[in-house]
Structure 1
Amino acid sequence: MLKSGAAAGVLAATGLPVFAQAKRGGRLKVGLNGANTSDSWDGRTQSDIFMICSSQGAVFDSLTEVAADGSLVGELATDWEATPDAKTWTFNLRQGVTFHNGKAFGADDVIESLQLHVAEGSKSAAQPIVASITEMKKITDLQVQFTLRDGNADFPYLMSDYHLLMYPAGQIEEAIAIGIGTGLYKVQSFEPGVRMVATRVDSHYKDGASGWFDEIEYIAINDNTARMNALMTGQVDAINRIDFKTEALLKANPMIRIQEVTGNQHYTFPMLTNVAPFNDVNVRKALKYGINRQEMVDKILQGHGRVGNDTPIGPANQYFAGDMEQLAFDPDKAKFHLKEAGLDSINIDLSASNAAFEGAVDAAQLFQASSKGAGININLVQEPADGYWSNVWLKKPFCASYWSGRATEDWMFSSAYKEGVPWNDSQWGSDDSARFQDLLLTARAELDSAKRRDMYHEMQMILRDEGGVLVPMFANYVDAINNKIATPDTVGNLWQMDNARVAERWHMA
């Protein structure tokens, strides 16, 4: 029932797993990519794994948490319930929680923290989540009620979004400046784009269930070769996103193991559908048939993933349309759609950097080669890694990108395909498909699972056939870890690095 979405409003989530084999102690050093000199403790601006691990994974908490097995559990909320129409949700908050500066946590902190995302000028990716709330009401110090504009069976899942960090009311500016949260780890030092060091908090509400290291250090290593070398030479205990071309070297080291998890992470090439020539659906279709997806899986992922079908809904989602006909590489069909657009050939710039995903530049070169025979001439623009997410993504008309995916279909669609939301990286809207936008709102409030399935399948078909995002492949999460570090039997697949919670869930072997 929990997986049905509607059940999230029926079943209370209480308690946390106890790891009897784990013991407190030790220091964890992790080399992570996805760091930028513009990084901060402002959850609204966070977009990649370095700050997700540092923030929601260590220093801050959210109301709910997606557990490693995909179920929803309470974090700062203990339980919740909804009215039958899923429009009004009441959350009970955990007692005895304090921020790192000693302030007690309560309903005021929840309301002020969420209001940040709809403040004037906010560009938070969680803005559409909070904007759907028409009223936030403090019932008691430890109970808060949300009234939504429309019913949403997935609302408790949305409260686990890594942007929705809880800050101390009345002190939010200071909390963002130096990193004051309720998490298991307290900030000792933070250099944006360089490193973060934090120490374990004593007498935490997660004692005995999470947070085994005395100290954690996250080091920003955006270059994949440098990241691998840091692990091989013992400078760090674990790294994310291994380079598959050097996987054999890692496997040959008896002190290192590879950890692979299948999830909804997908590598993409979004195009702005409100910018010519991508505003022409036939140009988009030509590009869809001009990309050789299987070649990318074979050469870029080297088997660590599967072919994508231009929809962000993946095999770990409940309503994944796995039986939908697969788009195939077909230069003749690509030529046909170019002619339908009134073109014999087309010249297109494609911006790429390995900051987008490991192998993004190589993938763009494969795309360049495969589409040439159809009259699609791709000019590859290699962008610098630093500042890629602030200077290229959402700004250049055609670029490389990636998404971790989301636990529910509505969460994914609402984050990246709802008209007008900040992270809609194709600017997909009603002009492209009014039907898609209507279905998004209807499916969200539908509690009948069979009806939701039909709607989400139709939405996936619309994106496959008309969408502005090429999704050539779903990539497994593949990390490398020193054997002195132990990991749980079940590793999370929502985000990289055990749902970015390595500081909480891993421990010394």
Structure 2
Amino acid sequence: MKDIYIAEQQRKLGTGGISRRQFIASMIAAGFVLPGALTMSERVLAAVPKKGGKMRIGLGHGSTTDSLDPGTYENGFSQNTAYMFANHLTEVGSNGELIPELAESFETDDAKTWVFKIRKGVEFHNGKTMTPDDVVASINYHRGEASKSAAKGVLSPVVDVKADGDNVIFELDGPNAGFPYIVSDYHLIIVPSVDGSIDPGAGIGTGAYSITTYEPGVRSAGVRNPNFFKEDRAHFDEVEILSLIDVTARQNALMSGEVDVIDRIDPKTVSLMGRNPNITILEKTGTLHYTFPMRVDAAPFDNYDLRMALKLSIKRQEMVDKILLGHGALGNDHPISTANAFHASDLPQREFDPEKAAAHYKKSGHSGKIQLSSSDAAFAGAVDAAQLIAASAREAGIDIEVIREPKDGYWSNVWNKKPWCACYWGGRPTEDWMFSSAYVDSSEWNDTAWKTTDGAKKFNQVVNAARGELDEAKRRQMYAEAQTLIHDDGGAIVPMFANYIMGHSNKVAHGDDVAANWDLDGGKLAERWWFA
């Protein structure tokens, strides 16, 4: 009974039902001494979102080639900007569970036909009321033969999408129990339409903040949307997102008070920053992984034995120890984390084996240098990680030349273009979503170009079949096979999974739960966090 009473008094204080003085008196009456009652009141009030202030976010992402066009989003700068001004049919909540967003609800009888009931009374920043037709046009922008959208692959199972009264109906080419996750993909923002078409670069959405400034790869800013449909969100008056790719500059900006929140803290300096009394370090384990994709449509990576030689020539534990400093875990050359439901835990961990690597390299017939492009734009320590790969490969007789690429333009000029480079992936909450984003043959973001080998063809068949398999045991077996195919035949080197390491001023507050599907509360900090 005492616990119930305390919880009720805390609720009343948090909602303004009683004053701080009344709360302290009630806690003393309940048996607490004055210092304890004072501390408890401070904690309750700190957890109550307050309106006001300008939130400044420093991100280790951004490129001058960025755009407001959702089909082009390729880094965290674009992603966080999208979450600032727009919304999706569904979202991953702070507790990691999928919840409706612009959809009021979603349902299916067979996992093949999905019906999303669209929320009424939601306004775009231009004053237009959102309709199911806007949803259909926004989704269709990413579909079709001519689409170059990065989300084309994840929508490939959709054969038709149409408005029906207050609903939007998706017809898939087969059952997909995880489809509601797909429509939370950050590319799939809902924007206003005219006669079935959208203006993809207008930057008009339904989100918590309407855009006031947009400088590609530099900064974006917005002011609170007074008509935002979520009454318990959008606490700041203004939000500014800054591209601070240099990790030292980003961390100094937080320590000097120039920004309030940063992402991608360097593991080498996290302990030092944690000693700053004005800063809180926030670390979350999710699906973030660092990769070195080899494009199998380009020599010499079109050779299976050469790819296997490189996979066997890497000291993964050394990379976790020296690059992540323990803030992560070993990767096994596939993108599925132990945080995913169907991680292939029985797949043997690939180990450094210079003898086998040398044998495969000899069988490949290759000789001479192999170029590996890297930049810390990919992740903190990416150049050092590339040097570690080169050093361990030398023990197998493989000569790797590390090319240090410029940070600016890395995602448009190097990644998904040069034959071998450094990369990061935020991962996805479901196996099908991850595979559809970066590994199926229809994905624009298939950065290994793994599409035509026998293993790739088998992989696509398995993923398509697993997507519609409703028996969990069978689906687990299928996804294990898919991971094995990437591990063996694919062009992805995935040496490590990294924790999200973020930092914020002690003036910043957030809920007890912080989502780990992306950095910074799943990219939703502008909407969810507040100043204490």
Fold in common (TM above 0.5): yes
Change (3 A) 1:105 1:466: same
| Residue 59, structure 1, aligned to residue 85, structure 2 | yes
Say whether the 8 Å CA contact 1:428–1:467 is kept in structure 2.
yes
Q: CA deviation at 1:120?
A: 5.3
| Residue 373, structure 1, aligned to residue 400, structure 2 | no
Q: CA deviation at 1:171?
A: 8.5
Q: CA deviation at 1:323?
A: 3.2
Q: Please, which of 66, 90, 97 is the counterpart of residue 71 of structure 1? A: 97
Q: What is the match of residue 127 of structure 1?
A: 152
Say whether the 8 Å CA contact 1:430–1:437 is kept in structure 2.
no
Say whether the 8 Å CA contact 1:40–1:176 is kept in structure 2.
no
Write the distance in 2 (CA, Å) between the matches of 1:416 and 1:193: 23
Q: What is the match of residue 394 of structure 1?
A: 416
Q: Please, which of 53, 65, 69 is the counterpart of residue 42 of structure 1? A: 69
| Residue 333, structure 1, aligned to residue 360, structure 2 | no
For 1:249, the aligned partner's letter is: L
Say whether the 8 Å CA contact 1:244–1:302 is kept in structure 2.
yes
Q: CA deviation at 1:403?
A: 0.4
What is the CA deviation profile of residues 454-473 of structure 1, one whole-angstrom value per residue up to 9, with x for unaligned ones? 11111112222222100000
Where do 1:217-236 residues align within 5 Å?
217-236=240-259
Write the distance in 1 (CA, Å) between the matches of 2:453 and 2:311: 20
Q: CA deviation at 1:245?
A: 2.3
Q: What is the match of residue 121 of structure 2?
A: 96
Instruction: Give the secondary structure class of the aligned counterpart of 1:244.
Output: coil
Q: What is the match of residue 263 of structure 2?
A: 240
Instruction: Give the secondary structure class of the aligned counterpart of 1:324.
Output: coil
Write the distance in 2 (CA, Å) between the matches of 1:200 and 1:173: 27
Where do 1:5-24 residues align within 5 Å?
21-24=48-51
Q: CA deviation at 1:121?
A: 3.7
Q: CA deviation at 1:375?
A: 1.2
Q: What is the match of residue 464 of structure 1?
A: 487
Q: What is the match of residue 52 of structure 2?
A: 25
Q: What is the match of residue 329 of structure 2?
A: 306
What is the CA deviation profile of residues 198-243 of structure 1, one whole-angstrom value per residue up to 9, with x for unaligned ones? 11111321012x2211111111111111111111111001111012
Say whether the 8 Å CA contact 1:175–1:181 is kept in structure 2.
no
**Cα RMSD over matched residues?**
1.6
What is the CA deviation profile of residues 309-353 of structure 1, one whole-angstrom value per residue up to 9, with x for unaligned ones? 00100021100112321000111110121123245x552100111
Worse-superposed segment, 431-440 or 269-278 = 431-440
Q: What is the match of residue 193 of structure 1?
A: 217
Instruction: Give the secondary structure class of the aligned counterpart of 1:111.
Output: helix
Q: What is the match of residue 38 of structure 2?
A: none
Q: What is the match of residue 451 of structure 2?
A: 429
Write the distance in 2 (CA, Å) between the matches of 1:472 and 1:352: 15
Q: CA deviation at 1:420?
A: 3.4
Change (3 A) 1:131 1:458: closer
Write the distance in 2 (CA, Å) between the matches of 1:476 and 1:171: 45
Write the distance in 1 (CA, Å) between the matches of 2:60 and 2:196: 27
Q: CA deviation at 1:177?
A: 3.8
Q: CA deviation at 1:430?
A: 3.9
Change (3 A) 1:355 1:155: same
Identity within the alignment, %: 49
Q: CA deviation at 1:286?
A: 0.6
* Bigger CA radius of gyration: 2
Write the distance in 2 (CA, Å) between the matches of 1:178 and 1:213: 23
Worse-superposed segment, 244-253 or 472-481 = 244-253
Instruction: Give the secondary structure class of the aligned counterpart of 1:490.
Output: coil
How many residue pairs match? The answer is 486
Write the distance in 2 (CA, Å) between the matches of 1:52 and 1:302: 27
Write the distance in 2 (CA, Å) between the matches of 1:319 and 1:246: 34
| Residue 270, structure 1, aligned to residue 301, structure 2 | no
Q: Please, which of 291, 297, 302 is the counterpart of residue 279 of structure 1? A: 302
Write the distance in 2 (CA, Å) between the matches of 1:266 and 1:130: 23
Write the distance in 1 (CA, Å) between the matches of 2:423 and 2:317: 18
What is the CA deviation profile of residues 248-273 of structure 1, one whole-angstrom value per residue up to 9, with x for unaligned ones? 33122100011100001000000011
Write the distance in 2 (CA, Å) between the matches of 1:327 and 1:293: 9
Change (3 A) 1:225 1:333: same
Say whether the 8 Å CA contact 2:47–2:509 is kept in structure 1.
no
Q: CA deviation at 1:47?
A: 1.2
Q: What is the match of residue 32 of structure 2?
A: none
Q: CA deviation at 1:175?
A: 5.2
Write the distance in 2 (CA, Å) between the matches of 1:485 and 1:194: 23
Write the distance in 2 (CA, Å) between the matches of 1:96 and 1:236: 35
Q: What is the match of residue 214 of structure 1?
A: 237
Write the distance in 2 (CA, Å) between the matches of 1:385 and 1:432: 36
Say whether the 8 Å CA contact 1:346–1:375 is kept in structure 2.
no
Say whether the 8 Å CA contact 2:137–2:197 is kept in structure 1.
no
- Unpaired runs of at least 5, structure 2: 1-45
Write the distance in 1 (CA, Å) between the matches of 2:462 and 2:383: 35
Q: CA deviation at 1:187?
A: 1.0
Q: What is the match of residue 186 of structure 2?
A: 162
Write the distance in 2 (CA, Å) between the matches of 1:327 and 1:302: 20
TM-score, structure 2 as length reference: 0.89
For 2:109, the aligned partner's letter is: T
Write the distance in 1 (CA, Å) between the matches of 2:156 and 2:353: 42
Q: Please, which of 384, 405, 409 is the counterpart of residue 431 of structure 2? A: 409
For 2:516, the aligned partner's letter is: N
Worse-superposed segment, 277-286 or 161-170 = 277-286
Q: CA deviation at 1:172?
A: 9.3
Say whether the 8 Å CA contact 2:85–2:204 is kept in structure 1.
yes
Q: What is the match of residue 16 of structure 1?
A: none
Instruction: Give the secondary structure class of the aligned counterpart of 1:276.
Output: coil
Say whether the 8 Å CA contact 2:154–2:443 is kept in structure 1.
no
Write the distance in 2 (CA, Å) between the matches of 1:277 and 1:64: 42
| Residue 351, structure 1, aligned to residue 373, structure 2 | yes
Where do 1:486-505 residues align within 5 Å?
486-505=509-528
What is the CA deviation profile of residues 112-140 of structure 1, one whole-angstrom value per residue up to 9, with x for unaligned ones? 11111125543211102333221122111
Say whether the 8 Å CA contact 2:288–2:426 is kept in structure 1.
yes
Q: What is the match of residue 288 of structure 1?
A: 311
For 1:179, the aligned partner's letter is: G
Say whether the 8 Å CA contact 2:214–2:221 is kept in structure 1.
yes
What is the CA deviation profile of residues 28-58 of structure 1, one whole-angstrom value per residue up to 9, with x for unaligned ones? 1111121111222111101111111111x21
Say whether the 8 Å CA contact 2:156–2:442 is kept in structure 1.
no
Say whether the 8 Å CA contact 2:123–2:227 is kept in structure 1.
no
Worse-superposed segment, 104-113 or 414-423 = 414-423
Q: What is the match of residue 133 of structure 2?
A: 108
What is the CA deviation profile of residues 163-183 of structure 1, one whole-angstrom value per residue up to 9, with x for unaligned ones? 001110119988544411000
Instruction: Give the secondary structure class of the aligned counterpart of 2:522.
Output: helix
TM-score, structure 1 as length reference: 0.93
Write the distance in 1 (CA, Å) between the matches of 2:237 and 2:199: 22
Q: What is the match of residue 11 of structure 1?
A: none
Instruction: Give the secondary structure class of the aligned counterpart of 1:199.
Output: strand
